[in-house]
Amino acid sequence: MAKQKQSILASDISRRDFVNGTLIGVGAALLGATAPGHAARQAPVGVLNDPWTGYGGVGDYAASNGNVAAVREAAHLIRDGLTQAMMDDVEDTGEEYDMVIVGGGFSGIGAAYQFHKKYGNAKKCLILENHPVFGGEAKQNEFEVDGYRLYGPQGSNDFGPPDKDEDSLIADIYRETGLPFEYEFVKQDPGKTKVRTPLEHFYGVYWDEERYDTGYFLGNDAKTPWVVNPRADGLARLPWSSDLKAELNRAFADKEEYHSGEDLDRWLDSMSYKELLEGVMGYSPEVTEYFDPILAISMGGVGADVYSAYSAKLLDMPGTNVHYEYDINEDSAYSFPGGNAGIFRHIVKYLIPDCIVGAKSFEEILFNSIDFSALDRRRNSLRIRLNSTAIDIRHAGSTDDAEHVDVTYHQDGKVKRVRAKTVVVSIGGWVARNIVSDMPEAISKAYSQFYHSPILVVNVALRNWRFLDKLGIAAGRWFEGFGRFFAIRRPMDTGDAAQPFDPDKPTVMTFYVPFNNPGLPPEAQGVIGRAELLSKSYADYENEIVDQMTRMFSAYGFDAGKDIAGIVLNRWGHAYISPQPGFHFGKNGQEAPIDTVKKGYGRVRFGHSELSGYMSHTRALNEGSRAAVEAMMQI
């Protein structure tokens, strides 16, 4: 076996290295450090969770970056069927709730919002959340770098505000929680940089690529390693075949329509996106390969060969009759400093006012500390119980006439049980089908058709981004090595707490890392991706990231030892639903699996964004709300 590279972050950290739960000089920040005193002055202070989870940054989210080791281990108890043995030692808490919501992400908080809208403080609701902080994938990473507080998204990211006058759940949430309908972003000083920079992390690497400055890295051995803004001249500078460039330019233009009629969506759902691209549109497999990573990072997590063409339509992909065009005068999407954590914090502050310290100004909600003691107070009409992994949900008696549901969960090494008049299951199907013990066979069979795939989100805190300014890009794509895409953002204007936008000052570079394994069934693609995601230590990934960045940027002045202030990994083993053909509308006359699950049974309803076939915060809020409305009919 080859000798493993020495990690930048030593794995044998002793207790003496910690100071009040923090570690000085973490990760790549140790590069070039000459003495502990130097590290203390130069490196960000933050939390080291364990050698697998790694550095978590600073602030309230530092112990909850993605699926941390404790969450992974608790989930694997369910996966491995070990929870039944734990049921013999259940502690009945004696608590009874009108509704228990399993899952504290956007779906769960959407259900809680709907519960509060109907009952106010008159009835009681409990959210069980398995992570150390609420939010699901809508959490943030925080860094302290050279006097600046920096933020990056752990997962859930871009958003577009609704129209303030529209009649919708999302607009209602904005109005009630105080979320602004309009946003300002830090003004760009052309004397400091002329790089056209997106306001979030996705649109600059495909959809609005021509609007922002994006580079393609072709490798250090290429005649021209970086091609900046390749679509500006129809890919002419790329060393690809003329046939491939012509095909891609035709796909980018997206002028043709291949099907008409009211059954367009069902027709698209009858085939994979690869079948649409190659069999219907006539493109070569190389075009599919170009789009595979875009599908994987943005929503699907798998290759086009197993991804429903209707799902591709939801992503505004070519050939689906969407004909996406960007507006040069209007940004397509925004991002809060910490991604959609900004939206989630507004909702949870509205439901539990004391849970975020301070008043209700925009900046206070975004940046003030979480008061964890306020989340699970007995007097709350809504309680959020963290580090609580549900392991069993079943009716107390027949599902037809039971008066309550028993919900059993694991917390702090103990197994506990509460009672609920109704339950909303707002967690992914990969868990739901293992813990809902009296689930009807039809729903269980439908859930067996749900496939999920992983994503890795990496936030790299940089002391400066002069190397990007010299290169002339804000986003990049490459075709071999670690990851496939990165982007920095022009920050949202949040007053005195706004992050800087200056190449000589710190920023956060975000990598959305797909795990592409086309050519295999969807389940296998997800399993292989998860195996890779979970098998590597923090040190393994840290070395890969530093190596990749050095290869790409060292020629432009990048020095990892001086420029990287910290690296945080956010591993999401089941980040995306991966809808296969027939997932949305069914096949061979059979009901679509999502419609079967949405029916629920007894006093249990299911509400999660995967039931829309598209993992977004708005769809999660809507699905959680729908499930809560249906469940409340039992109260």
Q: Can you read off the two tokens belonging to residue 91?
A: 């502690």
- Say what the pLDDT of residue 76 is: 63
- Say what the pLDDT of residue 279 is: 98
Q: What is the Cα–Cα distance from 580 to 303, expressed in whole angstroms?
A: 10
Q: Can you read off the two tokens belonging to residue 588?
A: 């061979």
Q: How many CA atoms lie within 13 A of 491 on its CB side?
A: 25
pLDDT at residue 41 is higher than 50: no
Cα dihedral value 586, 588, 590, 592, nearest 10: -10
- Say what the pLDDT of residue 70 is: 79
What are the φ/ψ torsions at residue 254 (nearest 5 degrees)?
A: 50, 55
Tally helices (H) and strands (E) across the chain: 20, 19
Q: Tally the residues of the chain.
A: 635
- Say what the pLDDT of residue 29 is: 34
- Say what the pLDDT of residue 31 is: 32
As a whole number, mean pLDDT of residues 551-574 equals 97
> Which pLDDT tens digit goes with each residue over 492-541?
999 999 999 999 999 999 999 999 899 999 999 999 999 999 999 999 99
pLDDT at residue 471 is higher than 50: yes
Q: How many CA atoms lie within 13 A of 490 on its CB side?
A: 23
Indicate the SS3 state at residue 72. helix
| Distance separating the N- and C-terminal Cα atoms of the chain | 61
Query: Considering the chain, what percentage of its residues have pLDDT values greater than 70?
Result: 91
Report in angstroms the alpha-carbon separations of 375 from 113, 301, 423, 552. 15, 33, 19, 45
Q: Can you read off the two tokens belonging to residue 103?
A: 């899952």
> Which pLDDT tens digit goes with each residue over 202-240?
998 899 999 999 999 999 999 999 999 999 999 999 999
Average pLDDT, the chain: 91
Q: What is the Cα–Cα distance from 34 to 604, expressed in whole angstroms?
A: 59
- Say what the pLDDT of residue 32 is: 30
pLDDT at residue 177 is higher than 60: yes
Looking at 38-42, 173-177, 323-327, 366-370, which range is the least confident one?
Answer: 38-42
- Say what the pLDDT of residue 127 is: 98
pLDDT at residue 27 is higher than 80: no
> Which pLDDT tens digit goes with each residue over 370-391?
999 999 999 999 999 999 999 9
Answer whether 584's CB lies under 8 Å from 265's CB: yes
Q: Can you read off the two tokens belonging to residue 434?
A: 């293992």
- Say what the pLDDT of residue 218 is: 98
> Which pLDDT tens digit goes with each residue over 261-308?
899 999 999 999 999 999 999 999 999 999 999 999 998 999 999 999
pTM of the shown model: 0.92
Q: What is the Cα–Cα distance from 514 to 300, expressed in whole angstroms?
A: 10
> Which pLDDT tens digit goes with each residue over 133-158?
999 999 999 999 999 999 999 999 99
Strand 452-462 and strand 564-577: the pairing is antiparallel
> Which pLDDT tens digit goes with each residue over 606-623?
999 999 999 999 999 999
Answer whether 522's CB lies under 8 Å from 450's CB: no
- Say what the pLDDT of residue 80 is: 63
Query: Considering the chain, what percentage of its residues have pLDDT values greater than 90?
Result: 85
Q: What is the Cα–Cα distance from 473 to 495, expressed in whole angstroms?
A: 26
Domains of the chain: 85-134+375-449+582-634 (3.50.50.60)
Q: What is the Cα–Cα distance from 567 to 3, expressed in whole angstroms?
A: 23
In 224-371, alpha helices (H): 242-253, 264-268, 273-274, 285-298, 309-314, 341-351, 362-367
> Which pLDDT tens digit goes with each residue over 317-371?
999 999 999 888 888 799 999 999 999 999 999 999 999 999 999 999 999 999 9
Strand 125-128 and strand 214-217: the pairing is unpaired
Letter for the amino acid at 307? Y
Please give, one letter per residue, the 3-state secondary structure of 283-324.
Answer: CCHHHHHHHHHHHHHHCCCCCCCCCEHHHHHHCCCCCCCCCC
